[in-house]
Amino acid sequence: MMKLQLALDDLELNDALALVQKVRDDIDIIEVGSPFIIEEGMRAVRELKKRFPEKLILADTKIMDAGEYEAEKTYIAGADICTVLGVTDSLTIKGCLEAAKKYGKKVMVDMICVEDVPKRVAEIESIGVDFIGVHVGVDQQAVGITPLEKLAEMKKVSKKSKISVAGGINPKTVADYKKVGADVIIVGGGITHAKDPVAAAHAIAEKIK
């Protein structure tokens, strides 16, 4: 079944905890976003896992080097999934997978800025990654790029991976991503910046499920 991932990026820790408490019944995965990690470090991961132990916690670390060492830090803090960049060396991704195996956790490869998607997906899947993220960043969104086309491309070339998708998704557009076949829909500002975040989360969850 398709899952809903809530991306927490530009909130303070207390505000994030309060928001998750309100929407916990509608979300499946809590993402501690990169800006949040820059601000709070692994403290945010620890607090969210302590408060919401039934949820999967994703640490959006965007690892680029020292894969095993950095991934292990996230798992020790309580993350169930950490992210590594697809543009990095495969050795770094393998390092993340070693740590994941040790702790019984998962690695998600973020494909932001990967140019040859079919080639890289084949390489990533050959080394054992089974969770890939289609990601159009906020700077790309600002010039009108959406992840829908990239998701369709990823679904064509992936042989076995679960595919998550992020990039400006909101209650009005979520059905399009469901139709293309995403396994995980990632929503940040579409919930956190909504006039009524609880209503937005519920509307998206209803469309997904």
- The CATH number of the domain holding residue 140 is 3.20.20.70
At 135 the three-state DSSP class reads strand
pLDDT tens by residue, 65-100: 999 999 999 999 999 999 999 999 999 999 999 999
First to last CA, the chain: 8
Please, which residues have CB within 8 angstroms of residue 2's CB and are 6 or more apart in sequence? 178, 182, 183, 184, 185, 208, 209
Single pTM value for the model: 0.96
Q: How far apart are CA 136 and CA 166, in angstroms?
A: 6
User: Interior CA angle at 74 toward 43 and 9, to 5°?
Assistant: 60
For 162, the domain range is 3-208
d(CA 8, CA 138) in angstroms, rounded, equals 14
In this predicted structure, the answer to whether residue 170 has a pLDDT above a threshold of 90 is no
Nearest to 186 by CA among 138, 128, 115, 126: 138
Counting the structural domains of the chain, the total is 1
